[in-house]
A and B are shown apart, each in its own frame.
Chain A
């Protein structure tokens, strides 16, 4: 009788322990998926920018007859960045791909801000309705990229904190939850130089 009670208590305690560990584990998975999703958002927004650039160049072309090289350079940089992004997607985490991507992105951002300076010099282009729309979309995209990075970093911080706190740290150790890396400001230099679109 007594042993039965002891066994019963042990079983209940075990079940409770397992439920507790499952809870911690699931919590970590949720956080991990959240930051992964946040990373995917950055990708979506970068793509959005690539899609916008041809539109921008097309609209500006009519007005910027004397700035042909700038426009061609922007298109080239855009294609290069899109290619680098594709290569990075094929081999995620590959240091050389990351480096190439970061370089292409910063080149594109630099050219875009140069283009914006040029646009400033053409009042009739700035007044063009289509151009206003493209500029609005572009500045929104720049914001989205920044916010997506910010959201990613916030999510990663939350995940890392949770991962390191006791007792979750034990579960994380057993099930091999790796720490996630923040997007450092060094490789977001491209974003910090992002064109300042003003109206």
Chain B
């Protein structure tokens, strides 16, 4: 392929299409002006009773032509102004779709994420050198597993480039370079500006459509409201100087009004259709142009073709993918878009690849293997998201939970009536939650909680149930925000602080249980049949029961809830007296199958509730068990 020839071709086609679009709009304006002029003629002739008014001399009068054209342009202008308001700042757009900016100073970390950011930043700087375009601000759309990218901003100097996290993850370096080069070509060729102008044209034409619809709408709604169309209209319409005398005047006004509205609507619709058609055709040409320019910058069309093959084969960028939430805002700017219709903003991936590479869409074994891996990974990621959503169920206050258990499952004699003062948990302040998402924020909050201080961002000391909830949130936030070494460091710090005073109280224990589960490096846990875990399970139950007023009764109260863990339970074993042993036992129960975890938690709650009251300590231990075995949703 010759990138320069392809570029010339795309530029020529763009010129033709833009001329067509402008012609379409001009035709619409002219047609609308005709409608206005004819309307004016009818009004003059019948309402002002200038019966001898000839049609052609009136319509071809320069003043009439000028006025009707002026009104037409006014309508287009209003359409422009309304539209230009929502295409303002690219930063706002990025904020709306939830992208994060990449700056060089933030790529210093040694984890894989920082390395990927560094690579993206480097690739962008390379492309700035190759294309001579100043460095745009670079953004990453974190929660998208798709491979895609887009640019926003209407000038070369203030452009923004956004890449999805999926592109960073799944593309090789040279493929990423191809994608970034494609986006740089959009900046260099002024495609955002061109598209912006075309959108304005479309908006201008749409204004006629809207005007016509609005005129019909007023009529329709009035008619409905009054039940009698004529009376409604009569009130609204102005009477001309001599008008209103003729008995047919009102009828003619209505007719003229309706005809004008209908014609405007019709002209607007046809105009919008053609303007949109031209706009999309231009957009497709610009994509070809951007591909060709990208090939010129990187001198590596095969890498760009590979990136396209990958997105095509892995089924990314189609409707129904994770993209839908924000794609309408940026559809015309995307790297790929999976549609193939008259109104597609992108040419089909096949056509694009065909121009880039003689091999076409056919892929080699290596690519096929990668596609397979990506598909598997995306599937796993969506499953993980589901799980995370399940884990993210807010920590139900213990009395509610136990009451729930009491209603549904617990077979204790007297369902405990729980008059715990800490009833509903209030929503946490926004600033506090925002702080948790910053590196170090969640860890600091946990340290403050452990030291008995009010965490920064909160007004007052949280209640016990709230403290548990915050602790869970914080550990999950540390897991999600921090790098792996930092996670380990936080886990160590928290353990050290909890042990500072030589003993571990129930809240500290609960916090450590969560930290151990969430912050230790991920490892494969092999699920073990629950029956093999009777020994630690019963000892955990015995330990929790020992905090109640009737240990033996509490221990036995668990039994009716158990089925996967065989009952009757062995004679009550001695409770753990070392907190760390207890924690180890709880963690080992994490190997139970999910349903066994669930019933174990319910059993634990029955144990706690057996003596009719649930203390803070007991709630803490239930929460600790839930956190340690990884069943937050059921706690």
**Residues of chain A at the chain B interface (Cβ within 8 Å):** 41, 45, 129-130, 132-133, 136-137, 139-140, 143-144, 147-148, 150-151, 199
Contacts and interface: CB of A to CB of B under 8 A. Distances in A.
A140 B122 contact: yes
Interface stretch (B10-18, B125-133, B332-340): B125-133
**Most chain A CB within a 10 A radius of its CB, from B115, B127, B299:** B115
Contacts of A151: 129-132
B110 A133 contact: yes
A101 B126 CA distance: 24
Interface in B73-132: 110-111, 115, 118-119, 122-123, 125-127, 129-132
B239 interface: no
A139 to B, nearest CB: 7
B359 interface: no
Contacts of B110: 129-130, 133
Contacts of B387: none
Interface of B: 110-111, 115, 118-119, 122-123, 125-127, 129-132, 172-173, 177, 297, 299
A148 B130 CA distance: 6
Nearest to B108: A133
Contacts of B132: 151
A148 B129 contact: yes
Contact of A144 (B126, B172, B297): B126
Given A150-B130, A199-B173, A129 B125 contact: no
B113 to A, nearest CB: 11
Nearest to A45: B129
B129 A144 contact: yes
Contact of A136 (B118, B129, B297): B118
Interface of B is mostly: helix
A140 B115 CA distance: 13
A147 B122 CA distance: 13
Contacts of A147: 126-127, 129-130, 297
A148 B172 CA distance: 22
Nearest to B129: A147
Contacts of B119: 136, 140
A179 B131 CA distance: 23
Contacts of B177: 143
Contact of A133 (B115, B125, B126): B115
B412 to A, nearest CB: 54
B534 to A, nearest CB: 42
14 contacts: A129-B111, A133-B110, A136-B115, A137-B118, A137-B122, A140-B123, A143-B126, A144-B126, A144-B129, A147-B127, A147-B129, A147-B297, A148-B129, A150-B299
A193 to B, nearest CB: 17
Given A137-B122, A140-B122, A150-B299, A132 B129 contact: no
Contacts of A45: 129
Contacts of A148: 129
A144 B131 CA distance: 11
A132 B221 CA distance: 68
Nearest to A42: B129
A133 B118 contact: yes
Nearest to A147: B130
Nearest to B298: A147
B489 to A, nearest CB: 16
B173 A139 contact: yes
Nearest to A129: B110
